[in-house]
Chains A and B, each alone.
Chain A
Amino acid sequence: MRWIWIDKFLEFESGRRAKAIKNLSLAEEHLHDHFPGYPVMPNSLIVEGLAQTGGILVGEQSGFEEKVVLAKVAKAVFHGPAVPGETLTYTAEVEAFQEGGAVVAGTAHVGDRLQAEVELFFAYLSDDERIQNLFEPKNFVFTMKLLGVFDVGRASGDGVAPPDAWTKLKELAKSNDTP
């Protein structure tokens, strides 16, 4: 399974808002466990999809140089199920950029129907070495695989280059592995 919970960006307004979609399909294994005979998209994964939409929005502000983690789900309200065959539209809007992180308000819609409302806090990780050791690149909101989604629909056709900070982290991880 790939930890990518959005399929495509529809809109991206740097530093302000982003809109992405997630198509729900019975080909997704987890829908058969949640629940047997009654497949519904888990609300936790809807929050994850909104966090990926909002996280990319926040990370893009620094050219993905800041390491962004989802620090708190301050609010999550769900109004009904989302089922296979439906498309979830995630809208994330930045409410505030602060020194330590950012606040994002998000909604999920199925067509015109409001499905979920969330408020998310993202934190920037400092360059503290202790924290670098705690969080490997794979823990961040955005990995290169997820950023691949961001590439779809970019007018220039150029992919997003890995930010310098990531290259440094990878080197650090490698040097830690060497005995």
Chain B
Amino acid sequence: MPSPDEIFEKVREALVEALGVDDDEVTPDAKLVSDLGAESIDFLDIVFRLEKAFDIKIPRGDLFPENILTDPQYIEDGKFTEAGLKELRERMPFADLDEFSQDPRREVFQDLFTVDTICKYVGTKVGVA
């Protein structure tokens, strides 16, 4: 079972390759989209590299539950509804949703995906968390 440090190193390597960023840019609190410049297709790339690096299977929507964003019962007037937040908590137990819940705007949803979130997600898949 890999240690949290080993997970971080492998996640870092995957992100450096997928996003063409420097090693030192990949810090635990770096946001994938706003800090590291990830675009939608990069998420497919990241998933592929994580699967390979950790020998795990990541079903579609497991790490990035994008289908929540298009469901009108979860999003209203550009904000997550109570039902939406509840769904997020269930789907993303690996993410820190406390701060986001205070101001759950759709456009800041992507900021939930930090390097640390990815590490925690991988942790749940390899049995560390």
Contacts and interface: CB of A to CB of B under 8 A. Distances in A.
Contacts of B42: 72
B47 A71 contact: no
B63 interface: no
Interface string B23-58: 000000000000000000110110110011000000
A123 B60 CA distance: 13
A99 B63 CA distance: 14
Contacts, number: 32
B58 to A, nearest CB: 9
A9 interface: no
Interface string A123-139: 10000000000000000
The range of chain B's interface size is 10 to 19
Contacts of A95: 48, 52
Interface of A: 71-72, 74-75, 95-96, 98-101, 103, 121, 123
B41 A96 contact: no
B41 A98 contact: no
B24 to A, nearest CB: 21
Interface of B: 17-18, 41-42, 44-45, 47-48, 51-52, 59-60
B111 to A, nearest CB: 22
Contacts of B18: 74
B51 A123 contact: no
12 contacts: A71-B41, A72-B45, A74-B17, A75-B17, A95-B48, A96-B51, A98-B47, A98-B60, A99-B60, A100-B60, A121-B41, A121-B44
